[in-house]
Amino acid sequence: MRKIIYLMALAFVFVSWQKKETDYAIISGTITHKSADWKIVSKDQSFSHTLKINAQGKFSDTLKIREGIYFLYDGKNFAQLYIENGAAIIINADAADFNKTIKFTGKGSEATNYLAVKQQTEDKIVGDQKAFYMLEEAEFKAKSKEIKTGLETALGGVKGLSESYKTKEKKNINYSYLLRLDNYEKYHEYFAAKPGFKVSQGFLNDLDGLSYENFEDFNFSEDYRKIIVSYYARQAEIMSKSGSIAEDVATIKSIGSISNEGIKNELLYSMAGVGITTTTDLKGYYKEFMAASTNEENKKTITQSYNKLLIVDIGQPSPKFEGYENNDGGKTSLADLKGKYVYIDVWATWCGPCMAELPFLKKMEEKYEGKNITFVSISADKASAHDKWKKMIIDKKLGGIQLIADKDFDSQFLKDYSIMAIPRFILLDPSGKIVSSNAPRPAEEDKIVKLFTDLGI
């Protein structure tokens, strides 16, 4: 009898839940003086939706998305939104004076308005980020605790927030505090110019006993995710140094040890999506991913990437490019470069990390001038940036053979190499076969000198 009553009660709860649960959110409002498309994008950029705004600036869109923080932006202005199923958020703004006019109202807008208060509170206490991380340990930890307390006070002062949200956000505030402590060593080393700096014993005691297996917190807190990634990256570094395994392969192996399958599979997939295209050990990377992942759809997708990447693995004939514009005049094809090793830098004028490599690339070109190697830079800039490309070659006094791809990232050469991130460096042998589709960067001088020496360059 008790069992029947229990099952009936469960059935009632289930039916009630089915009736009340809403699997979408409504975003509506008015944005005047629109000069570009407005989009709602997730933090990890896995979701992007362009708002359907009419001539009067009005819009109303229904979104089926995962609960979390999103960005509203038009390429120049942006704001954070917290969107959950069942929300009906109203956005009103004048794009010509966005920061002063943006307002969020409606059901579920409280969390979005809290995010603005949170950011203001944090900015006020932290001040200059560089100065913050230059603080010595005791002062840094005290300031970090002050931020935590300030944010908890701000959270408690916002009316209308659900108890569920407040509970999760309070944990998130603590994770943010722990992440600051976790980041302190590397940021203090950099900003305070202290090479080899290590935190003192006990500085990270607040992280002792932290669980890395909480899937609910993983879904809610980006900072908790970062703590998990940091922890397993450290384990991978130790694994890599103690054995003959590449660090990126060790990272996949390390994450594969996570017990919670939701966390494990999501981290594996998010890393492998790009990681498999940049690894120097394609077969090893793929093997570890397939052994670690338990999500069949993810494994299917990564297998497709792997099979495509096999055509640009070591020893394979390089994909071709033909008729790329040469800054010195005329057109250049890959076939024109046979007879010497070819070191290719795929870059773009807008790419910060690409700019950081340029001084090292110039140094390398000078070091190997007259040797059996040709240096080629292929710009992935859009056609609209053609003049900027030409100007940068002059301004930066770039050497080597300077080419621009025919269709930026849609160029077949870039697609054949599955280039999703730049800079990317490729090394070919004199016959046009691939030595490395992910060659060391110019800044990795020791690695590249060893590679070139081993090849007799």
* pLDDT of residue 443 exceeding 90: yes
* pLDDT of residue 311 exceeding 50: yes
Q: How confident is the model at residue 35 (pLDDT cuts 50, 70, 90)?
A: confident
CATH number 2.60.40.1120 is the correct assignment for the domain at 24-107: yes
CA atoms within 13 A on the CB side of 334: 23
pLDDT tens digit string along 331-380?
999 999 999 999 999 999 999 999 999 999 999 999 999 999 999 999 99
Type of residue numbered 433: K
pLDDT tens digit string along 243-262?
789 999 999 999 999 999 99
CATH number 3.40.30.10 is the correct assignment for the domain at 324-454: yes
- Taking a C-beta distance cutoff of 8 angstroms, is the pair 61, 52 a contact? yes
CA atoms within 13 A on the CB side of 105: 6
Please report, for the chain, the start and end positions of each structural domain, with discontinuous segments joined by +.
24-107, 109-210, 212-313, 324-454
Beta strands in 74-171 (DSSP E): 78-83, 88-94, 103-107
Distances (CA, A) of 115 to 110, 120, 400: 9, 9, 49
Q: Which residues pair with 373 in a beta bridge?
A: 341
DSSP assignment of 34-92 equals --S--EEEETTSS-EEE----TTSEEEEEE---SEEEEEESSS-EEEEEE-TT-EEEEE
Q: What is the mean pLDDT of the chain?
A: 92
pLDDT tens digit string along 294-303?
999 999 999 9
